[in-house]
Structure 1
Amino acid sequence: MDPSAASGPEAHRHSGPLSDAERAEYDRLRSAEGLRHRRLRQFGASVLLVLAILLAPVSVVATWVNSEVNDTDRYEQTVSPLARNPAVQSLVIDRVTDRLIDVIDARRITEDLADDIADTLADRDAPSFVVDAAKSLDGPLQSGLTTVVHYVVQKVVTSDQFATAWDEVNRRAHSAVSTVLTGEGGGVIEAKGDTIVLNVGTVIDEMQEQLLGTKVIDGKNIPGVDKSIVLVRNDNLGEAQDAARLLGILGVWLPVAVVVLAALGVWVAPSHRVALMAAGFGVGVMMCALLVALAVMRVVGLDAVPPDAQTQDAAASVYDTLVRFLRQAAVTVLVVALITVAAGYLYGPGQGARAVRSPVARGTEAAGHALARSGLRTGAVGRWLHTHRPVTTTVVVAAGALVLFLWDYPTPASVVLVLVLVVVVLAVLGVLGAADGAAADTEDGPPDAGPGAAAVERGG
């Protein structure tokens, strides 16, 4: 038998329509394959989004460290308030006064001065009780000297000239915060072993000139004093500095990696909108965790302050000043995350989302129709905008996100500003898309056209 003849009817039988059983099997296999493909996409998206969410707070901290180490202007903005903070000023005034009184040996000076007065009175045949009273003047003299030194130090520290000098010295050095973060160099705030100290060299130097100018004591009585005040003592400071150095290296690339991971996760996910909302929610939770961690670190750091080193108010002021930009960055990312979740919800099928979208859509369409009826029609451009509304919406939202990403140091206010601009641009595009004239012609008909013409246009 000819093989072709035998195979012909068989091939013809299988090339015909599928039977019900074959159709059911085909649908089952197709459904199983689709379900498997969907699960793979969900798994891949979940991995990418989890990585992005976990790295989000690390990228915020890394960006903050990198900006403080490499940006002189940002560094100056960070440490500048320290010279003007009342708690820090009080700490510096008290500590510098105490150090100077100890270093110049005020007790010896006042005792010698009291003895000289007593000897002078004795040489002038003063009564013995007067001579004895003069010898006991060392206490009041020391108190008076302390008062004078304290007054001069306070005058220097609270002056505008000192604040200006503080800014200039720190700008030239650009090492205060970076030395704490990396453990290298020296500056206003410096890491020494397991302690963080506040260097007040500029205060001491300026104050010495003030003291010498008042002729209270001679320059030989002001040796090189210890020009630092212990702020925090922590046994784990070295490990923290190692982590900060690593974050400083990753500060440029880690935020980009987080954005890329999140974007890939949203693209791979079967439901882009749900994935976007999940990413926003996860990042928002991590930013809240970062803010809580900063608050806990503040409490732990204040507890580590030596009682004899400084006041709690001064330590709190220093900590709040140094990390305020990190807090601001975390709050900014939190605001962006909340806006992302809200936008994802508003574009969804929920009743609440429809309740918000419907009046907005009717309002833009009504404004566009009114614009067209007034003679200001957008024509082909408006029709293109109306037809390609999803594309224009995506472009505008992406442009707003890019502006925020490229913004040097965005704040919650800048995020709100960009959001308002995006909403305004979308509203304007919606009005222009509705002002193409078609709707107005549908309602009113072309000029000089009767009902028949309007009916024809409605049919077209």
Structure 2
Amino acid sequence: MSAAEREEYERLRKAASVHHRRLRYTATSVLLVLTFLLAPLAVVAVWVDSAVADTDRYVQTVAPIATEPSVQNTVTDRLTKRVVDNVDVAAFTEAVARTLRREGAPPRVVQGADALTGPLKSALNSAVRSIVHRVVTSDQFAEVWEDSNRRAHAAVVKVLTGEGGSAVQAGDDSIDLNLGTVVDNVKQRLVDAGFDQASKIPDVDKTITLFQTDKLNEAQGAMRLLNVLGVWLPVLVLVLAALAVWSGPAHRVALMTTAVGVGVMMIVLLVGLAVMRQVYLDSVSRTALPQDTAAAIHDIFLRFLKNTTVTVLVIAVITALAAYLYGPGRGARWIRRAAAGGTGAAGRSMARHGLRTGDAGRLLDAHRKWTTGIVIAGGALALVLWNYPTPGSVALVLGIVVLVLVLLGILAAASGTAPRRRTSHPPPGKGA
């Protein structure tokens, strides 16, 4: 091969190398963007899928509504008003006045009978409210609420997809809380207490509107799509993230970039949930639902979604920190030296006291990268298999992983073998 041919070959090889590097950068960038955009949707999809498919999870979601004081007070007020409105106190006092006039009672006595309307209605309202409040705040009410939701798990399907029917229902432009079971229970208690008019509470009044919107149909269509993707969308995000890390020219930097990006998107999702909460509370003015009740219902219903978002954010932060600690940064090197020095000192102290690990310790010392990788992979697998992990469970798994790594470092240093030292070789041509 002539010099010109070799020069042309080298030129083509370098051009191909540059082109290949650009392709890798482009592929990694596209994968990262897809990962970042789909990550929030994946979190919402997992929440929707768990609420629809897991009865226990759904019951855990809605059960606290029955014991929330602001909700109990609102339900008590609504039911009390509906019962009292069905009792015509004015007609009763008028009948008493007519009877007194017919019997020849003095005018002052007749007028006094007419004045009984207000006190009688107030006394009736107080008595009915006391009975209704006892029912709504009783353990039996909470049990009935939980049991009805468990038996009619289609409630969440009704809210998110507009199909089925149960305690929480979706109308054409609203989401309503169905109090049918509760009203029937209260009616029976009131009838037993002598308030026969309670049996006339109309069925049409057994709902409280929680949310109104003219975009409910569009929202339900989006939620149905997320429900279908609930299983595969998170898997797709994980695959895209893994491909982005694998295709990146520097795997550690790609991992750190992926973690930071996902963490930022989780913060964006939390901000979006906060904005949605305010929009919901602003819409409450059209439903006459007290602000504190509306806020409590919203926070209870979405608490698992917020918890999952925070959990993913914590995992992203931990992953980014781990990727940084494996890098060449000054701070990362100092932390690694400090950790190695601490475990090494502890292991050598054990060896001096006769607690040598021998061949097992030397094996651990020779395969530190493998053992470290296995322990970290085990922690990641534990989180993947954990049913609905929380920030607390992430902290627990992280603590266990760090503890195991520390113990392995101590056992490796306790082998009784002198620590390995790096030898510096002189540059070629400089001599020994």
Normalising by structure 1, we get a TM-score of 0.86
What's the secondary structure of 2:231's corresponding residue? coil
What's the secondary structure of 2:209's corresponding residue? strand
> Which among 357, 361, 376 is matched to residue 382 of structure 1?
361
Structure 1, 314-323 or 172-181: larger mean CA deviation: 172-181
Structure 1, 206-215 or 286-295: larger mean CA deviation: 206-215
What's the secondary structure of 1:349's corresponding residue? coil
What's the secondary structure of 2:284's corresponding residue? coil
Q: Which residue of 2 aligns with 1:61?
A: 44
Long gaps (5+) in structure 2 = 422-432
* Alpha-carbon distance in structure 2 between the residues aligned to 1:182 and 1:308: 22
Per the TM alignment, residue 158 of structure 1 is displaced from its structure 2 partner at its CA by 1.4
Q: Which residue of 2 aligns with 1:93?
A: 76
* Residues 223/359 of structure 1: CA separation in 2 closer, same or farther (3 Å cut): closer
Q: Which residue of 2 aligns with 1:135?
A: 114
Per the TM alignment, residue 409 of structure 1 is displaced from its structure 2 partner at its CA by 0.4
Q: Which residue of 1 aligns with 2:232?
A: 253
Q: Is 1:71 paired with 2:54?
A: yes
Instruction: Kindly provide the amino acid, as one letter, of the partner of residue 50 in structure 2.
Output: S
What's the secondary structure of 1:408's corresponding residue? coil
Q: Which residue of 2 aligns with 1:327?
A: 306
Kept after mapping to 2: 8 A contact 1:229/1:309: no
Per the TM alignment, residue 23 of structure 1 is displaced from its structure 2 partner at its CA by 6.7
* Alpha-carbon distance in structure 2 between the residues aligned to 1:345 and 1:307: 51
Q: Is 1:278 paired with 2:261?
A: no
* Alpha-carbon distance in structure 1 between the residues aligned to 2:22 and 2:405: 35
Q: Which residue of 2 aligns with 1:41?
A: 24
* Alpha-carbon distance in structure 2 between the residues aligned to 1:26 and 1:400: 48
Per the TM alignment, residue 24 of structure 1 is displaced from its structure 2 partner at its CA by 6.3
Structure 1, 145-154 or 279-288: larger mean CA deviation: 145-154
* Residues 27/437 of structure 1: CA separation in 2 closer, same or farther (3 Å cut): farther
Q: Is 1:84 paired with 2:67?
A: yes
Kept after mapping to 2: 8 A contact 1:233/1:306: no
* Residues 336/223 of structure 1: CA separation in 2 closer, same or farther (3 Å cut): closer
Long gaps (5+) in structure 1 = 1-13, 443-460
Kept after mapping to 2: 8 A contact 1:196/1:233: yes
> Which among 381, 399, 402 is matched to residue 378 of structure 2?
399
* Alpha-carbon distance in structure 2 between the residues aligned to 1:94 and 1:333: 40
* Residues 158/260 of structure 1: CA separation in 2 closer, same or farther (3 Å cut): same
Structure 1, 30-39 or 340-349: larger mean CA deviation: 30-39
* Alpha-carbon distance in structure 2 between the residues aligned to 1:174 and 1:308: 25
Structure 1, 157-166 or 131-140: larger mean CA deviation: 131-140
* Alpha-carbon distance in structure 2 between the residues aligned to 1:353 and 1:421: 21
> Which among 201, 222, 227 is matched to residue 243 of structure 1?
222
Q: Which residue of 2 aligns with 1:4?
A: none
Q: Which residue of 1 aligns with 2:429?
A: none
Q: Give aligned pairs, total.
A: 421
Structure 1, 433-442 or 227-236: larger mean CA deviation: 433-442
* Alpha-carbon distance in structure 2 between the residues aligned to 1:288 and 1:223: 46
Q: Which residue of 2 aligns with 1:350?
A: 329
After superposition, what is the alpha-carbon deviation per residue over 1:112-164, rounded to whole angstroms, capped at 9, x for unaligned? 32133224434543212212321332232222222222222112111122112
Kept after mapping to 1: 8 A contact 2:80/2:129: yes
What's the secondary structure of 1:198's corresponding residue? strand
* Residues 307/54 of structure 1: CA separation in 2 closer, same or farther (3 Å cut): closer
* Alpha-carbon distance in structure 2 between the residues aligned to 1:204 and 1:198: 12
Kept after mapping to 1: 8 A contact 2:83/2:198: no
> Which among 277, 286, 291 is matched to residue 298 of structure 1?
277
Per the TM alignment, residue 252 of structure 1 is displaced from its structure 2 partner at its CA by 1.0
* Alpha-carbon distance in structure 2 between the residues aligned to 1:271 and 1:223: 69
* Residues 44/170 of structure 1: CA separation in 2 closer, same or farther (3 Å cut): same
Q: Which residue of 2 aligns with 1:458?
A: none
Q: Which residue of 2 aligns with 1:7?
A: none
Q: Is 1:156 paired with 2:139?
A: no
Q: Which residue of 2 aligns with 1:146?
A: 125
Identical-pair percentage? 55
* Alpha-carbon distance in structure 2 between the residues aligned to 1:349 and 1:323: 42
* Residues 337/219 of structure 1: CA separation in 2 closer, same or farther (3 Å cut): closer
After superposition, what is the alpha-carbon deviation per residue over 1:334-374, rounded to whole angstroms, capped at 9, x for unaligned? 00000111111111001011111111011112222222233
Kept after mapping to 2: 8 A contact 1:347/1:353: yes
Greater Rg by CA = 1
* Alpha-carbon distance in structure 1 between the residues aligned to 2:164 and 2:199: 30
Kept after mapping to 1: 8 A contact 2:358/2:415: yes
Structure 1, 296-305 or 145-154: larger mean CA deviation: 145-154
After superposition, what is the alpha-carbon deviation per residue over 1:299-342, rounded to whole angstroms, capped at 9, x for unaligned? 11111123452111111111111111000000000000001111
After superposition, what is the alpha-carbon deviation per residue over 1:47-101, rounded to whole angstroms, capped at 9, x for unaligned? 2222122111111000000000011111011101111111111211111222223
* Alpha-carbon distance in structure 2 between the residues aligned to 1:147 and 1:245: 45
Kept after mapping to 2: 8 A contact 1:369/1:440: no
Instruction: Kindly provide the amino acid, as one letter, of the partner of residue 322 in structure 2.
Output: A
Kept after mapping to 2: 8 A contact 1:87/1:314: yes
RMSD over aligned CA atoms reads: 2.1
Kept after mapping to 1: 8 A contact 2:76/2:132: yes
What's the secondary structure of 2:176's corresponding residue? strand
Q: Which residue of 1 aligns with 2:424?
A: none
* Alpha-carbon distance in structure 2 between the residues aligned to 1:46 and 1:60: 22
Q: Which residue of 2 aligns with 1:165?
A: 144
* Alpha-carbon distance in structure 2 between the residues aligned to 1:222 and 1:307: 24
* Alpha-carbon distance in structure 2 between the residues aligned to 1:74 and 1:247: 18
